[in-house]
């Protein structure tokens, strides 16, 4: 019997979460798990109650020609990783010692929050071009891996 690995299972959930993204430029999904139990999900989109870029039909970063990996403060969206961490906080669930699965590696801003939330491992489907975030992740001691599909899983 072929079964997908835990990493494949949870990365599939992160990919599904990305389909809720309201970003016009990059759709990202994230899930936080601990002891193979799902704690929270997140995707990138505007804060609750505010218009999303897809509703406004405009991406400010795109209009201003800001490259990926730069000037994150000029974005309406809360990143997927942050939304998952916030969901844990709102619901009173500790993500300390957990694993974050995310469809793109964290930016600098997300990396800082991942470190302070006590997440122990990050598994990303692909690299996001943010050298400072990558360096901070390395310095933090958090286990960082690029996802590699194994076997015959449906990813």
DSSP helix/strand/coil, 42: strand
Query: 8, 70, 73, 81: which is the annotated catalytic residue?
Result: 81
The DSSP H or E segment spanning 89 is helix 80-90
Query: 28 and 21 in contact (C-beta within 8 Å)?
Result: yes
Question: Has 81 been annotated as catalytic?
Answer: yes
CA distances from 34 to 54, 87, 100, 120, 134 (A): 33, 14, 9, 10, 23
What is the set of active-site residues? 81
């Amino acid at each position: 019997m072929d079964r997908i690995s835990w990493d494949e299972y949870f990365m599939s959930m992160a990919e599904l979460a990305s389909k809720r993204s309201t970003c016009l430029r990059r759709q990202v999904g994230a899930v936080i798990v601990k002891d193979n139990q799902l704690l929270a999900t997140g995707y990138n989109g505007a804060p609750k109650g505010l218009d999303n870029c897809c509703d406004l039909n405009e991406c400010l970063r795109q209009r201003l020609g800001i490259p990926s990996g730069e000037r994150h403060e000029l974005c309406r969206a809360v990143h997927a990783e942050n939304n998952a961490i916030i969901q844990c906080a709102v619901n009173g669930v500790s993500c300390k010692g957990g694993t974050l699965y995310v469809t793109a590696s964290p930016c600098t801003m997300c990396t800082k929050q991942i470190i302070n939330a006590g997440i122990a491992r990050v598994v990303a489907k692909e690299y996001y071009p943010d050298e400072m975030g990558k360096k901070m992740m390395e310095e933090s001691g958090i286990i960082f891996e690029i996802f590699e599909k194994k076997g015959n899983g449906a990813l």
